[in-house]
A = this chain, B = another copy of it.
Amino acid sequence: MIPPRWGDLGLTEAQQLAHIAWDPGALEVARGLSRRLDAVLIHAPVSRLVYDCNRAPDMAGAMPARSEVHDIPGNTDISPAERLARTEAIYLPWTEGLHGLIARRIALGLRPVIVTIHSFTPVFNGKPRRVEFGVINDADAALPVAILNAARKLTRLQAELNAPYSAKDDVTHTLRVQATPYGLPNAMLEIRNDLIATAEAADAMADQLAPVLNMGLVEIQKQAKAS
């Protein structure tokens, strides 16, 4: 997950496998949802400690010097040239690839729905988190609210809106760049990673969430027709 060009960023092997370096289980859930919903899946190609594609190049979290309780030695005192190099190597192709895909569909008269998928750690800075499934909105809350309602109807997950964090924490960058300017329906999903710790558990979660997303999408289509 850390290409040779960036070595190990000064991290132990255990740290490289911890949630600070990636979102455990999120990609497996995303793959499961993509298959079930016939949706295109685009995922980050490297550890978020090299570059977190869900952050603008000037945000501290793009190449974090510290994550939860861990210092990231390879990310302290990053020079402007190195910051630019990582932006060009990772952020720009990611952003432009996504944008091209979405703009081409818009040109063809389609209205793609943008859903970003993440996982969060059950204990953060020593505090346990009760929420299991968080739905986070950027400027337009219609789809997130519809997904939340569907999750409460169809599952027993502890589902909450804008938890464990919200757009104020700058976690919706991808939605802000790709969906909000085009008025596309969008939502950010956060799944507690202890619930998707194995491939089987992640697939079972995708099985649970696919009908939830479908119900949410049907609901906002109804709302759009009614208005």
Contact = CB atoms under 8 A, between A and B. Distances in A.
A137 interface: no
A224 interface: no
A173 interface: yes
Contacts of A87: 103-104, 106-107
Contacts of A80: 107-109
Contact of A182 (B56, B83, B86, B92): B56
Given A56-B181, A96-B96, 6 more contacts: A87-B107, A88-B107, A96-B100, A173-B181, A176-B181, A181-B181
A158 interface: no
A91 interface: yes
Interface in A78-129: 80, 83-84, 86-88, 91-92, 95-96, 99-100, 103-104, 106-109, 111
Contact of A84 (B57, B95, B104): B104
Q: Which range contains the number of A residues in contact with the other chain?
A: 20 to 34
A180 interface: yes
A57 B106 contact: yes
A182 to B, nearest CB: 5
A60 interface: no
A100 to B, nearest CB: 6
Contact of A181 (B84, B109, B177): B177
Interface in A179-221: 180-182
Nearest to A100: B92
Contacts of A103: 56-57, 87, 91-92, 95
A58 interface: yes
- The 9 A-B residue pairs whose C-beta atoms are closest, nearest first, are A57-B107, A87-B107, A176-B181, A177-B181, A84-B107, A57-B106, A58-B106, A96-B96, A80-B108
A85 to B, nearest CB: 9
5 contacts: A57-B107, A58-B106, A58-B109, A84-B104, A87-B107
Interface string A55-82: 0111000000000000000000000100
A182 B174 CA distance: 11
A107 B177 contact: no
